[in-house]
Amino acid sequence: MEAARMISFPLLPAADLIAFATFMALWVGYTVFADRRTLRGQSLLAATGRHRRTWMRGLCDRDARVADSALLGNLMRSVSFFASASILIIGGLLALLGAGERAYAVVRDLPLVDASGHGVFQAKVMLLTVVFVYAFFQITWSLRQFNYSCVLLGAAPNPDASDAVKDRFAEHAARLNALAADSFNRGLRGYYFALAMMSWFLHPGLFVLTSGVVVAVLYRREFHSKTLKALNAALPPP
């Protein structure tokens, strides 16, 4: 009976439910919007995808591919860092849940924290944990895809192969590399929205506001940043 009370959460207050629904609508809506813009070639992911195609086609003409292996290794190290960080964060949040009333008593005494009750606090921590679990699965899937890209790199055609063989390899190798980048991007996006979710512990209205700010920051960086302009300018002429 005691265990059942520990894992049963009360219904969130109406303001919290509205804030969380708005948060999910912003996250899902932005993801759908970003995917469509990427398919039309109008995002950072699309621009780097075109560079990946050039990269994979160029390595087919090189005998020594040490630099290409180093570049893939560098990408994988970045992804591995966030995978490890996700595990640590999830462990910390589960420990916070396990601490029960003691953890809530500490958090409740912090300035500006919304003291809606222990059960509501646990529900918010659980939902924040779910966001980081989602990010972990996306990031580790990205890591596996980059591993498969290493296999493809080892199977790349020799410089004396026909152009048709090289072009086919470059197309599919770049596609796999781009899929890995997309998974990593989704996981990293989860981190951004998790940061917004932390403001939920202060006030539901602030939660909605920070979620909107995150969407604005992501939109600016992915579709109107100087980085995107530089990547597009560096593309070879068609």
- Look at residue 237 in the predicted model and tell me its pLDDT: 64
pLDDT value of position 133: 97
Residue 110, pLDDT score: 59
Q: For residue 100, which amino acid is it?
A: G
Q: What is the pLDDT of residues 175-221, one digit of tens each?
A: 999 999 999 999 999 999 999 998 888 888 899 999 999 999 999 99
Contact 31, 186 (CB under 8 A): yes
pLDDT (0 to 100) of residue 108: 60
Question: Between vectors from CA 48 to CA 161 and to CA 44, what angle results, nearest 5°?
Answer: 165
pLDDT at position 104 is 63
Q: What pLDDT shows up at residue 8?
A: 45
pTM: 0.88
68 Cβ contact partners less than 8 Å away, ≥ 6 residues apart: 55, 59, 62, 153
Q: Which residues contact 83 (CB under 8 A, 6 or more apart)?
A: 136, 139, 140, 143
CA distance 90 to 127: 11
- Residue-level pLDDT, tens digit, the chain, 238 residues: 344 444 444 577 888 899 999 999 999 999 999 999 999 988 999 999 999 999 999 999 998 889 999 999 999 999 999 999 999 999 989 888 777 677 666 666 555 566 666 777 888 889 999 999 999 999 999 999 999 999 999 999 999 999 999 999 999 999 999 999 999 999 999 999 999 998 888 888 899 999 999 999 999 999 999 999 999 998 766 5
